[in-house]
């Protein structure tokens, strides 16, 4: 854990800095210590009033604002609750446990980190000494927290690449220019270990940023039936190149069985990052730059979110996946709400198919994960079966399927039998 302490004279400015991040979906408020309301209900006005109740009691002290950032390694695997406990322990360790303070988790960097805002003016108006706070109290608190919570130590954290590199900085593998197996292994291991995905399609959405694709084989193949998995270098469109590498031959064992275990675990792990993704995407959708899918994708990329849009030959948008490279969470659009599903975005941008028909008039829902699997190489028979249940691209839409010939109707002839009972026999008309 790396701790950085900044002092200032304007608590309003520091508060607005964090609140603006919160408003844009670039931060979450984890904790409001010493406030009347909890972190979910306390307003901006109440936050400022609470701080001023302390700072106004000592107007002679000009430097009254303390802004702290605690930075962690990706390997620490921290959730909201653990971050809260660390923040509380740290503030008690540096002598600010009884002060009002706010804890924000920011998402504007590749590594996990929190910001803590407080004041060094006590309730009785006395000033808390901050000289050498970083060198003395903070260092002792940091080392104790690293031991207690088993965190990557600051000295080691500064050396590891995961701390200093953005996700895309792992470098895209280029076919014929790298040692294939080593390059694939490094990327697959990193993505499997640090990204939160809940299906093979979502895993692939993250992998393909680095020109790597996971493939199970054709539906009828023995490899598919046996839950086999291979990894290949791929181009920008996901087309596989060169000789594939068996999952079992990679040291981290990213086999399909091991991925399935992570699918369930990640459903819970990524929940804490859903709100950040929704806020960020919805905020960007209001920007003039996001006037179409290309603009939306480019603007999202600047905020650390990689968008994967899947369209069929007729131009129909049938699937969307968002890879948040800041929190390393992967979501299908529908997982984030109906307003961010493929169908909703298709309607929002008023996309027309090649035949000129407004696709807003087409009905149906889309199972995005299943459709992505179709795109990964399911057989024609599988696609036709899927088309009976889901809205799938092109020729499998209901209105484009061949019509069955209707059976000729039969008429009924009623006659009276020898016993006076009414009987029926069928005659073909």
Give residue-wise pLDDT tens across range 372-412. 444 444 433 443 334 333 333 343 344 444 555 555 544 44
- Report d(CA 307, CA 368) in Å as an integer: 14
Q: Are 13 and 154 within one domain?
A: yes
234 is in which domain, residue-wise?
168-268
Q: What are 213's strand-pairing partners? A: 232
Domain termination residue (choose one: 131, 161, 191): 161
Q: Are 182 and 80 within one domain?
A: no
| Geometric angle at alpha carbon 424, from 419 and 429, rounded to 5° | 145
pLDDT at 171: 56
Continuous H helices in 7-124: 11-23, 44-55, 80-93
Please check whether residue 425 lies inside any domain of the structure: no
pLDDT at 177: 60
Q: Are 247 and 379 within one domain?
A: no
Domain termination residue (choose one: 114, 141, 161): 161
Q: Are 42 and 136 within one domain?
A: yes
Please check whether residue 408 lies inside any domain of the structure: no
Please check whether residue 236 lies inside any domain of the structure: yes
Q: Are 347 and 368 within one domain?
A: yes
Phi-psi region of 374 (alpha: psi -120 to 50; beta: other; left: phi over 0): alpha
Q: Are 59 and 151 within one domain?
A: yes
Q: Are 289 and 390 within one domain?
A: yes
Helix-strand-coil split of the chain, %, nearest 5: 40, 20, 40
Please check whether residue 306 lies inside any domain of the structure: yes
Chain-centroid distance of CA 335 in Å reads 10
Please check whether residue 293 lies inside any domain of the structure: yes
Nearest to 219 by CA among 50, 90, 384: 384
H/E element, 321: strand 317-324
pTM: 0.60
pLDDT at 379: 39
Please check whether residue 415 lies inside any domain of the structure: no
- Could you say which residues of the chain have pLDDT below 50? 161-170, 353-354, 356-401, 409-418, 420, 424-429
Q: Are 221 and 86 within one domain?
A: no
Q: Which domain CATH number covers 38? A: 3.30.930.30
Domain termination residue (choose one: 133, 161, 189): 161
Please check whether residue 144 lies inside any domain of the structure: yes
Please check whether residue 417 lies inside any domain of the structure: no
Q: Which residues touch 36 (CB under 8 Å, ≥6 apart)?
A: 42, 46, 50
Q: Are 43 and 146 within one domain?
A: yes
Q: Are 205 and 253 within one domain?
A: yes
Strand 2-8 versus strand 65-71 pairing type: antiparallel
Q: Are 226 and 322 within one domain?
A: no
The total of structural domains in the chain comes to: 3
Q: Are 328 and 345 within one domain?
A: yes
pLDDT at 174: 63
């Amino acid at each position: 854990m790396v701790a950085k302490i900044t002092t200032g004279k304007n608590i309003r400015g520091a508060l607005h800095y964090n609140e603006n991040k919160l408003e844009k979906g670039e931060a979450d408020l984890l904790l409001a210590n010493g406030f009347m309301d909890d972190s979910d209900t306390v307003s901006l006005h109440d936050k400022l009033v609470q701080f001023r109740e302390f700072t106004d009691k000592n107007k002679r002290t000009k430097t009254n604002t303390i802004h702290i950032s605690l930075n962690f390694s990706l390997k620490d695997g921290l959730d909201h609750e653990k971050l809260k406990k660390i923040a509380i322990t740290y503030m008690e360790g540096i002598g600010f446990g009884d002060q009002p303070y706010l804890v924000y988790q920011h998402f504007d960097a590749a590594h996990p980190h929190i910001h803590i805002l407080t004041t060094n003016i006590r309730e009785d108006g006395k000033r808390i000494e901050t000289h050498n706070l970083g060198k003395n109290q903070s260092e002792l608190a940091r080392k104790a927290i690293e031991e207690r919570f088993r965190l990557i130590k600051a000295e080691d954290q500064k050396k590891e690449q995961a701390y200093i590199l953005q996700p895309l900085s792992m470098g895209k593998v280029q076919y014929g220019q790298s040692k294939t197996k080593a390059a694939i292994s490094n990327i697959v291991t990193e993505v499997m270990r640090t990204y939160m995905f809940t299906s093979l399609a979502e895993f692939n959405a993250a992998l393909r940023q680095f020109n790597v694709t996971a493939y199970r084989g054709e539906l009828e193949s023995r490899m598919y039936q046996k839950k086999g998995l291979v990894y290949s270098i791929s181009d920008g469109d996901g087309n596989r190149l060169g000789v594939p590498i068996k999952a079992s031959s990679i040291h981290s064992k990213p086999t399909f069985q091991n991925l399935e275990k992570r699918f369930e675990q990640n459903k819970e792990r990524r929940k804490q990052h859903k709100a950040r993704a929704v806020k960020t995407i919805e905020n960007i959708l209001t920007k003039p730059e996001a006037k179409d899918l290309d603009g939306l994708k480019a603007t999202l990329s600047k905020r650390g979110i990689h968008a994967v849009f899947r369209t069929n030959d007729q131009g129909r948008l049938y699937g969307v996946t968002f890879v948040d490279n800041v929190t390393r969470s992967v979501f299908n659009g529908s997982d984030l709400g109906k307003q961010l599903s493929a169908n909703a975005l298709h309607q929002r941008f008023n996309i027309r198919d090649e035949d000129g028909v407004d696709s807003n008039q087409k009905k149906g829902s889309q199972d995005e994960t299943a459709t992505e699997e179709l795109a990964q190489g399911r057989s024609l028979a599988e696609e036709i079966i899927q088309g009976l249940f889901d809205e799938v691209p092109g020729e499998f839409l209901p209105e484009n399927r061949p019509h069955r010939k209707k059976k000729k109707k039969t008429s009924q002839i009623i006659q009276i039998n020898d016993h006076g009972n009414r009987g029926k026999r069928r005659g073909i008309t």
